[in-house]
Amino acid sequence: LTGVPREQRAFQYLLAHAIPGDPRHVLQTLDQWSYYCEHLSCVGPVKGRIVERLVRERAPQRVLELGTYCGYGSVLLAQGLPVGARLYTVEPNPHHAAVAEKVIRLAGFDEQTVELIVGPSEEVIPRLRAQHGLAKADFVFMDHGKRCYLRDLQLLETHQLLAPGATVLADNVLFPGAPHFLQYAKTCGKYHCRVHRASLEY
């Protein structure tokens, strides 16, 4: 009714309640908004713990996130990175990217740590090396359009952007589902697959 998008309303709530420079508190405040005010399609705290654990175990130096949305996943990933590591996050929707940029900076991450790239993933991936300096990704988090998962994984392979032993973590592969991606990952012989069972966010 106000004409203000849901994502922008969530950011206004963040400004009023979150502690600037405290990524964990920024995430908790977004969780509060999504539980009690309006649903946001963020990773959420339950699946977030899986992401945190894997980032901690792998300690990646170069991380690629496909699907920034409001920046929840970016903050979640960035807070677990080792010193000197960098996150590249790709968002096709410029309105969502504008909110995400503010959320990421509010959480305390500068452009040297988190670079937000606006554009469709199929256009951004081929130019990641030349334009953004990403030679190889150690960790990829897919949380964008489920129909894009397989295409973008194969684009990463074609452009040799996956480091040896890289981890590819994809959200919601069972529901709403990315069956072609899942089938390819299980049968192509390039990956060891594991499905993490979790509830939908919020």
Helix (H) or strand (E) holding 157: helix 149-158
Q: Is 172 a catalytic residue?
A: yes
Of residues 11, 48, 24, 7, the one with CA closest to residue 199: 48
Q: Is 171 a catalytic residue?
A: yes
d(CA 51, CA 57): 10
> Which candidate in 7, 91, 146, 152 is catalytic?
146
> Which candidate in 102, 171, 186, 190 is catalytic?
171
d(CA 175, CA 200): 8
> Which candidate in 65, 101, 143, 152 is catalytic?
143
Tokens of 35: 């539980």
8-state DSSP, 165: E
Q: Is 143 a catalytic residue?
A: yes
Positions marked catalytic:
143, 146, 171-172, 201
